[in-house]
């Protein structure tokens, strides 16, 4: 019962249209913790695998990670390089002399008694992430979120609470202890939840593109704390938000909660101090208030030297950065591609890590195939068709047959692959036949252990051999006859009635029958047209 109520409440929060009162401005700032996917941990040579915990708790731990007295930290410079890549991509000012500080607090999963972080002199300050109305789906045409700072720090271990025969127990797993993190702190520049949603997505895409983190919220690889305030009232910090919808719903809830307090004149009592709250899935709940705020007694870590960088490091890091996703997307939105935002993003942002191909190779293949297709396109250029043949058909088959793109290019380089797309575009074969043909060619190629070459692929010959050419105009009368038979064979009285009434659903059913009968040699649109003609239905 409780869980049903819970779900109902969640639904009301997310479905209700959220608007802010213009006199009570929403102000929001984020603190984002991102685990770096370096080989080793931040200050030890243990393997950096925070997710080993399920099968092997406390497995990837060195004496330093479990804080055996007398062990000392040794900085892993790979983490510094990752931080520099991120700082550079965000246009931050890189600090040539940054340092580590100790942030003291006691907790079971923090055996050192302090966390090594960067408080006084972080690796980078300033910079920004820009979002756009069209690309990032925000209401403003453009919105810049300024970055306060980026700091390197250690992750803590994890506590697991279980209730067993011996009562409640707290188990500590230190696999995550000393895993490298970057904390990104933004300025309180967000004024709407859609900006927060877009920022998180864009930041996730960025760390994935830079290959510095998996960026997953679900696994805790990325964790977002949100600070929310209204006008000049104190900020409330929200923690323990496991995914984007919790983040968005918690902000909406918190804004409304604060607004109610302010409007009812109770701000002096309930909104006087900063406070940290959590999210229970339906509402924000108080975790601690200002009075119980911990004094972390920050102090420079005497066991770690300054991170001193040469000035040319900044320039060298910039050189190894990949092209920005926004630039790539914009180039696909423009001539000659004119792609939709969705397709442009799919080609520009790597959401999927595959051993068979990387995003850059796919992008390059698309561009070259597009240009080849454009040279021979029978009608107006249909970029959507090329996108679909590259992103869905090509990648789908590579995954299905486990063929690396590198091998694929030996047999179907852009010049050859575009031939297939032109055949489909020209109506020489239907797209279903084209798909079968592609699968056949690739399957043979794989079975032959990749010995075939481009010259061995003769699409025209294969179309004749398998007799899969689209039905030509000469066959039109035959087509009509067959369609009439399909209608005559319907024996369900209800369906006959809806066919007579020209119901869309009924026509769809007939088209399905036709597709089966002609085994994909006739296009669905063509069949629909013939059925509509026979039934005397005007295309609406
Ligand atoms: N008026 C405000 N309303 C909402 N958010 C704010 C406001 N002022 C500052 N913030 C946000 O509060 C956050 C402050 O983070 P910061 O890491 O500097 O300090 P902290 O939260 O006190 O420390 P800790 O790292 O221990 O949580 C930033 O994300 C900033 O944008
Ligand atoms: Mg904070
Ligand atoms: Mg912080």
**Minimal-distance CA residue to ligand 1 atom 18:** 185
Cα separation, 45 vs 30, in Å, equals 31
Residue with tokens 């996917």: 37
Choosing from 102, 235, 251, 274 the residue with most ligand 1 atoms within 8 A of its CB, the one to mutate for a pocket test is 235
Q: Please list, residue by residue across 312-338, b when 16 or more beta carbons sit within 10 angstroms of its beta carbon and e when fewer do.
A: ebeeebeeeeeeebeebbebbbeeebe
Phi, psi dihedrals of residue 284, rounded to the nearest 5°: -90, 140
* Lookup: tokens for 456: 């061995």
Q: Give every CB contact of residue 410 below 8 A, 6+ residues apart in sequence.
A: 450, 452, 453, 454
The DSSP 8-state label assigned to residue 391 in this structure reads: I
Helix (H, G, I), strand (E, B) or coil at 217: coil
The pocket of ion ligand 2, defined by CB under 5 A, consists of: 31
Query: What does the pLDDT read at residue 191?
Result: 97
CB-facing half-sphere around the CA of 95: CA atoms within 13 A: 21
In this predicted structure, which of 63-77, 437-451, 518-532 has the lowest mean pLDDT? Answer: 518-532
Q: State the CB neighbour count (10 A cutoff) for residue 499.
A: 21
Q: Which pairing describes strands 307-308 and 299-300: parallel, antiparallel, or unpaired?
A: unpaired
Q: Which ligand does the CA of 191 lie closest to? A: 1
CB-facing half-sphere around the CA of 308: CA atoms within 13 A: 3
- Average pLDDT for residues 391-400, to the nearest whole number? 94
Pocket residues: Cβ below 6 A from ligand 1: 27-31, 185-188, 227-229, 235, 237
Tell me the DSSP string of 108-149: TTBTTSEEEE-SSS-SEE--EEEEEHHHH--SSSEEEEEEEE
Instruction: Quickly state the pLDDT bin for 328 (edges 50, 70, 90).
Output: very high
52-110 pLDDT per residue, tens = 766 789 999 999 999 999 999 999 999 999 999 999 999 999 999 999 999 999 898 99
ipTM, 2 decimals?
0.98
In the predicted model, what is the mean pLDDT of the chain?
A: 91
Indicate which atom in ligand 1 lies nearest the CA of residue 228. Answer: 4
Q: Which pairing describes strands 275-279 and 236-238: parallel, antiparallel, or unpaired?
A: parallel
Nearest to 402 by CA among 351, 457, 355, 363: 355
More confident residue, 338 or 2: 338
In this predicted structure, which of 30-39, 49-58, 274-283, 317-326 has the lowest mean pLDDT? Answer: 49-58
**Minimal-distance CA residue to ligand 1 atom 11:** 29
Cα separation, 301 vs 305, in Å, equals 8
Beta partners for 117?
101
> Residue 241, Cα to own-chain centre: how many angstroms?
18
At residue 367, does pLDDT exceed 50?
Answer: yes
Ligand 1 centroid – CA 77 distance (Å)? 28
Q: Give every CB contact of residue 309 below 8 A, 6+ residues apart in sequence.
A: 80, 84, 94, 96, 97
In this predicted structure, which of 6-15, 134-143, 188-197, 509-518 has the lowest mean pLDDT? Answer: 6-15
Indicate which atom in ligand 1 lies nearest the CA of residue 30. Answer: 29
Residue 202 · residue 196 · CB < 8 Å: no
Choosing from 24, 28, 29, 224 the residue with most ligand 1 atoms within 8 A of its CB, the one to mutate for a pocket test is 29
Choosing from 122, 227, 233, 295 the residue with most ligand 1 atoms within 8 A of its CB, the one to mutate for a pocket test is 227
Query: What does the pLDDT read at residue 533?
Result: 84
């Amino acid at each position: 019962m409780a869980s049903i109520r819970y779900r109902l409440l969640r639904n009301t929060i997310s479905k209700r249209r959220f608007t802010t009162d213009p006199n009570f401005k929403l102000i929001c700032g984020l603190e984002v913790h991102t685990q770096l996917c370096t080989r080793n941990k931040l200050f030890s040579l243990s393997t950096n695998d925070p997710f080993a915990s399920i099968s092997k708790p406390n497995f990837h731990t060195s004496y330093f990670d479990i804080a055996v007295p007398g062990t000392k930290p040794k900085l892993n410079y790979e983490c510094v390089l990752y931080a520099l890549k991120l700082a550079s991509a965000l246009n931050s000012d890189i600090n040539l002399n940054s340092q580590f500080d100790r942030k003291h607090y006691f907790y079971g999963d923090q055996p050192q008694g302090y966390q090594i972080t960067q408080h006084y002199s972080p690796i980078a300050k300033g910079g920004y992430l820009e979002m756009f109305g069209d690309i990032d789906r925000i209401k403003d045409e453009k919105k810049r979120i300024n970055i306060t700072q980026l700091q390197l720090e250690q992750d803590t271990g994890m506590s697991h609470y279980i209730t067993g025969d011996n009562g409640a127990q707290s188990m500590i797993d230190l696999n995550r202890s000393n895993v490298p993190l970057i904390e990104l702190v933004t300025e309180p520049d967000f004024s709407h939840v859609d900006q927060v949603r877009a920022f998180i997505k864009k930041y996730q895409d960025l760390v994935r593109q830079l290959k510095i983190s998996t960026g997953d919220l679900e696994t805790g690889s990325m964790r977002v704390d949100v600070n929310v305030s209204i006008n000049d009232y104190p900020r409330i910090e929200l923690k323990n938000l496991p995914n984007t919808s919790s983040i968005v719903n918690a902000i909406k809830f918190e804004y409304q909660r604060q607004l109610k307090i302010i409007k009812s004149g109770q701000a002096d009592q309930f909104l006087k101090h900063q406070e940290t709250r959590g999210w229970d899935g339906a509402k924000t709940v108080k975790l601690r208030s200002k009075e119980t705020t911990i004094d972390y007694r920050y102090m420079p870590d005497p066991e770690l030297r300054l991170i001193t960088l040469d000035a040319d490091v900044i320039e060298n890091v910039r050189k190894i950065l990949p092209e920005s996703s926004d630039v790539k997307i914009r180039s696909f939105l423009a001539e000659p591609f004119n792609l939709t935002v969705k397709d442009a993003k799919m080609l520009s942002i790597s959401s999927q890590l595959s051993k068979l191909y990387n995003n850059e190779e796919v992008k390059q293949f698309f561009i070259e195939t597009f240009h080849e297709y454009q040279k021979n396109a029978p009608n107006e250029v249909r970029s959507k068709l090329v996108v679909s043949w590259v992103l869905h058909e090509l990648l789908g088959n590579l995954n299905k047959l486990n063929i690396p793109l590198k091998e694929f290019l030996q047999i179907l380089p852009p010049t050859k692959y575009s031939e297939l797309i032109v055949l489909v575009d020209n109506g020489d074969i239907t797209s279903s036949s084209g798909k079968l043909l592609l699968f056949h060619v690739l399957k043979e190629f794989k079975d032959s252990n990749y010995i075939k070459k481009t010259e061995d692929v003769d699409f025209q010959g294969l179309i004749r051999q398998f007799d899969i050419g689209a039905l030509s105009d000469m066959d039109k009368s035959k087509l009509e006859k067959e369609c009439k038979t399909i209608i005559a064979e319907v024996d369900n009285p209800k369906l006959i009635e809806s066919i007579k009434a020209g119901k869309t659903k009924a026509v769809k059913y007939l088209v399905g029958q036709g597709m089966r009968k002609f085994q994909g040699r006739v296009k669905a649109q063509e069949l629909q047209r013939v059925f509509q003609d026979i039934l005397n239905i005007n295309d609406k």
